[in-house]
Amino acid sequence: MKNENIIYAMTKKENMEQKGFKTYENDAICVFWRPSMCTHSGKCVMGNNAVFDPLRRPWIDLSQADTKEIAAIIDQCPSKALHYELKEAIRVVFEESKQQAAAYDGEKMTGVRPEYSGLGIALSIAGIRYLVSWYKAIQ
């Protein structure tokens, strides 16, 4: 049971599973399927029946194609019963001492494209940190 006094943001996986989606994942992609939404158009099976085989259990085998192909097939799902989330190698951390966000690719710090400079990441992390500190203060 989650503590009601803590601000908690669900991951996409938790959110999708709460909505009734089943999860299939490997190191590169997380695929979500909600049986009750599926209209059985067959676009996934026709896209690659080695990945999507309704006669096999589990019916989705992510080892049968590369991540880009799987994502492209899921993008064609007309009922939106299939969704995916790519697992990125980039991690963003908030550096307390500098009061700024930094992005890392493995152990190497990576840059931000100039058009994204100052947009979003640092503000979001700083905003979350502010909300958490404010929420702790009113307890």
Report the number of distinct structural domains present in the chain: 2
> Does the residue 17 lie in any domain?
yes
Residue 5 lies in a domain: no
The answer to whether residues 46 and 97 belong to one domain is no
Per-residue pLDDT of the chain (139 residues; tens, 9 = 90+): 444 444 455 678 888 999 999 999 998 899 999 999 999 999 999 999 999 999 999 999 999 999 999 999 999 999 999 999 888 755 666 666 766 666 665 566 655 555 444 545 454 555 555 556 665 666 5
What global pTM score does this model have? Answer: 0.61
Amino acid occupying residue 85: E
95 and 70 share one domain: no
Check whether residue 74 and residue 105 sit in a common domain.
no
Q: Which two tokens stand for residue 65?
A: 């194609």
29 lies in the same domain as 95 = no
The reply to whether 17 and 77 lie within a common domain is yes
Looking at the fold, whether 99 and 81 belong to one and the same domain comes out as no
Q: Please report the pLDDT score of residue 15 as a whole number.
A: 87
- Same domain? For 30 and 53 the reply is yes
Side by side, which strands form the sheet with 100-105?
A: 90-95, 100-105, 108-110
With 0-12 / 13-18 / 19 or more C-beta atoms within 10 angstroms meaning exposed / middle / buried, residue 49 is middle
Which are the contacts of 65, defined by CB distance < 8 A and separation ≥ 6?
48, 50, 51
Domain that holds residue 117: 90-137
CB of 33 within 8 A of CB of 81?
yes
**C-alpha pair distances (Å), 83 with each of 57, 63, 76, 95:** 19, 17, 10, 33
Looking up tokens 């994502």, which residue turns up?
71
Question: Do 19 and 81 have their domain in common?
Answer: yes
* The pLDDT value given to residue 49: 97
32 and 53 share a domain? yes
Asked whether residue 4 is domain-assigned, the answer is no
Task: Report pLDDT for 133.
Answer: 62
Q: What is the C-alpha to C-alpha distance for residues 40 and 79, in angstroms, rounded to an integer? A: 9
Q: What pLDDT shows up at residue 136?
A: 63
